[in-house]
Amino acid sequence: MRGTALPALSGHPIEFDSYVFDLDGTIYLGEALLPGAERLVEGLRDRGKRVVFCSNNPTKRPEDYAEKLTRLGLSTDPSDVYTSLTATVSWISRMMPEATVFPIGEEPLVMALAEAGIAMSDDPERVDLVVTSYDRGFEYRKLQIAFDALWFHKRARLVTTNPDRFCPFPGGRGEPDAACITAAVTAGTGVECEAVFGKPSKDLLDIISAETGLDPATSVMVGDRLATDILFAHNTGMCSALVLTGEADLDQLSAAPEEQRPTWVLERIDDLLDYDRVSA
């Protein structure tokens, strides 16, 4: 199978201006670009398309991703990379600017909050907002602080950087992601997470659009996950392409609800070049 299209959409041909790419499992896996990734990205850039990278991984800054992409052969500026940290910090700054936050996450999350001037504390009596995230240093002490802030003092709210259950690794392996941390906090406190940032949240695209001028009507989201990448496209009015190099496979696709069904299914990511001008 190469470039298998789902039922064609009706209407007039349009030419896409912008392409939003997931990273892990879509552009690269581990320390290697996936087959066709360099050909696709450079081909789109040569055609004058806007290329934006978008990851739910909150353990890296845009600068880190740009450096990695450049090292792997895709020269990238940090301004072309957006992460779940971007959406999380933006939401807190807009919706709870005076809040004191307890972040359960790694250094990039803490740094992003600090750079935005957001107060942080591990004192449960002061915490207004618990933010769960991908945290390879997760420990009982952190769970206790969140428990006390949410259940005992009953003063805090619970949000998370991203909804991913695991981060994919080469060889079919993976690491537990933010959803596992959130589940642990909710299991102990009974407090449900009230906001999830990163894909599929529309907040993330609002930030990208505000900074780049990207128009969802002439944009495509490309990724390997149905419940984040493809649902993100559905929630924001973009067309979508599912590439079968990461989490999703055809069995998952056949069982997916309508809002998680992509416009196209691709075996190799550079098959997307064939759809640069499509009926939509």
The tokens of 216 are what?
A: 């969802």
Amino acid at 106: E
**Residue range 157-184: mean pLDDT, rounded:** 89
Domain positions in the chain are 17-56+199-279, 95-196
CA–CA separation, 156 vs 151, rounded Å? 9
CA–CA separation, 8 vs 97, rounded Å? 45
Which range has highest mean pLDDT (73-77, 265-269, 270-274)?
73-77
Percentage of the residues of the chain whose pLDDT score is greater than 90? 75
Q: What is the pLDDT of residues 27-71, one digit of tens each?
A: 998 899 999 999 999 999 999 999 999 999 898 889 999 999 999
Place of tokens 């990511």: 269
Residue 265: strand pairing partners:
4, 242
pTM greater than 0.75 (yes/no) = yes
Task: Decide whether 17-56+199-279 matches 95-196 in CATH topology.
Answer: yes
**Residue range 206-211: mean pLDDT, rounded:** 89
SS3 60: coil
Q: Which CATH superfamily is domain 95-196 in?
A: HAD superfamily/HAD-like (3.40.50.1000)
* H-helix segments, the chain: 37-46, 62-71, 84-95, 107-115, 140-147, 178-189, 202-212, 231-236, 250-255
Residue 124 has pLDDT above 90, yes or no: yes
Confidence of residue 174 (pLDDT cuts 50, 70, 90): confident
Percentage of the residues of the chain whose pLDDT score is greater than 70? 92
**Residue range 175-202: mean pLDDT, rounded:** 94
**Residue range 148-156: mean pLDDT, rounded:** 97
Neighbours of 78 (CB within 10 A): 15
Q: What is the pLDDT at residue 168?
A: 72
Give the pairing of strands 18-21 and 50-55: parallel
CA–CA separation, 38 vs 50, rounded Å? 15
Q: What is the mean pLDDT of the chain?
A: 90
Q: Which residues contact 213 (CB under 8 A, 6 or more apart)?
A: none
Residue 115 has pLDDT above 50, yes or no: yes
CA–CA separation, 276 vs 5, rounded Å? 13
Q: Quick check: 59 and 53 in contact, CB under 8 A?
A: no
Q: Smallest Cα–Cα separation from 263: which of 9, 2, 1?
A: 9
Assess if CATH 3.40.50.1000 describes domain 17-56+199-279.
yes
Q: What backbone phi and psi angles, to 5 degrees, belong to 138?
A: -60, 135
Q: What is the pLDDT of residues 4-23, one digit of tens each?
A: 444 333 333 346 999 999 99
Whether the upstream peptide bond of residue 35 has omega within 30° of 0, thus cis, is: no
Q: What backbone phi and psi angles, to 5 degrees, belong to 4?
A: -70, 120
Directed axis angle between helix 84-95 and helix 202-212, to 10°? 90
Q: What is the pLDDT at residue 278?
A: 38
Q: What is the pLDDT at residue 275?
A: 64
Residue 163 has pLDDT above 60, yes or no: yes
CA–CA separation, 71 vs 245, rounded Å? 21
SS3 127: coil
